[in-house]
């Protein structure tokens, strides 16, 4: 079996709308810290120089949103009320949604804007994939080439409401994208709303989750390395209690025969 990493990193040096704070306590600093804690809490004297190399263990402290890097959105992210009941948080989602056969749709030509249901249907047919309930559908928009830059948050394509409903009708419950959002860029949606007065163009992919429970994987990477179909995706979200999303190390699992 071959494993392809589909995740983008949590990288405090990259541009983020909500900047990441990543503080690293080095192993040497960890030794001093431990010595101070021992004295403070237990009255014990310990010279950190007695440790091999004068080092103990490192410690990372991060401040970041659960939507940083590759992550899975839970239904509770889309709104507090669903027509089906209370939308579930990420820790409540069934794990068997997140290890499934997958198909990748090539929509790299769209650039910036909206992908409709006809296009999604045509691309799905082009792959020859026989979509079963709970299969994972990935949208390869090409936006991940801007990962780490400000452009990643403005220049991408997302699906509209009918395209989302089309996939949900097939029984799909996890839809992934290599873009910042499964919806079109904020500016694009708001301009369209101001021109048409049609509220259904505002976050249609996310709000579809208020009618039917489903998850999105956002900020995937390396989708160009995948065959259209014939592989599985594993994207188990981190179990953050009560959260609307969880980070994931999304990977594709390819049986040797399909490579
Ligand atoms: Zn998200």
The CA 239 to ligand 1 mean position distance, Å, reads 15
pLDDT for 256 equals 75
pLDDT for 99 equals 98
The CA 49 to ligand 1 mean position distance, Å, reads 45
Cβ–Cβ < 8 Å for 6, 142 = no
The CA 195 to ligand 1 mean position distance, Å, reads 26
The CA 13 to ligand 1 mean position distance, Å, reads 20
The CA 249 to ligand 1 mean position distance, Å, reads 14
The CA 11 to ligand 1 mean position distance, Å, reads 16
Residues, Cβ < 5 Å to ion ligand 1: 67, 73, 218
The CA 132 to ligand 1 mean position distance, Å, reads 25
The CA 123 to ligand 1 mean position distance, Å, reads 24
pLDDT for 257 equals 64
The strand pair at 99-106 and 136-140 is best described as: parallel
- Give the separation between CA 100 and CA 223, rounded to whole angstroms: 16
The CA 183 to ligand 1 mean position distance, Å, reads 10
The pLDDT averaged over each successive group of 10 residues in the chain (259 residues) is 96 94 98 96 95 96 97 98 97 98 98 96 97 98 96 96 98 98 96 95 97 98 97 98 98 80
The CA 72 to ligand 1 mean position distance, Å, reads 7
The CA 251 to ligand 1 mean position distance, Å, reads 18
The CA 48 to ligand 1 mean position distance, Å, reads 43
The CA 29 to ligand 1 mean position distance, Å, reads 35
pLDDT for 259 equals 47
Indicate whether this model's pTM tops 0.85: yes
The CA 126 to ligand 1 mean position distance, Å, reads 28
All structural domains of the chain, each given as residue ranges with its CATH number in brackets, are 3-10+65-258 (3.50.30.50), 21-63 (no CATH)
pLDDT for 49 equals 95
């Amino acid at each position: 079996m071959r494993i392809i990493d589909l995740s983008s990193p949590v990288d405090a040096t990259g541009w983020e709308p909500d900047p990441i704070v990543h503080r690293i306590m080095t192993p040497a600093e960890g030794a001093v810290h431990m010595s101070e804690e021992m004295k403070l809490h237990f009255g014990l004297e310990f010279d950190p120089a007695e440790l091999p190399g004068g080092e103990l263990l490192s410690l990372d402290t991060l401040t970041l949103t659960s939507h940083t890097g590759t992550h899975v959105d839970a239904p509770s992210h889309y709104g507090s009320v669903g027509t089906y009941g209370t939308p579930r948080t990420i820790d409540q989602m069934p794990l068997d949604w997140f290890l499934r056969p997958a198909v990748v749709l090539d929509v790299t030509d769209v650039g910036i804007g909206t992908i409709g249901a006809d296009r999604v249907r045509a691309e799905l047919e082009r792959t020859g994939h026989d979509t079963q309930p709970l299969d994972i559908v990935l949208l390869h928009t090409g936006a991940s080439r801007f990962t780490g830059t400000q452009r990643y948050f403005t220049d991408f394509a997302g699906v509209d409401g009918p395209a989302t409903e089309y996939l949900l009708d097939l029984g799909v419950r996890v839809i992934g994208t290599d873009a910042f959002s499964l919806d079109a860029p904020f500016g694009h949606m708001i301009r369209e709303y101001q021109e048409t007065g049609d509220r259904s163009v505002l976050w249609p992919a996310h709000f579809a989750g208020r009618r039917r429970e489903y998850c999105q994987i956002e900020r995937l990477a390396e989708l160009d390395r995948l065959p259209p179909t014939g592989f599985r995706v594993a994207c188990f979200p981190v179990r953050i209690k009560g959260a609307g999303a969880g980070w994931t190390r999304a990977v594709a699992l390819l049986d040797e025969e399909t490579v």
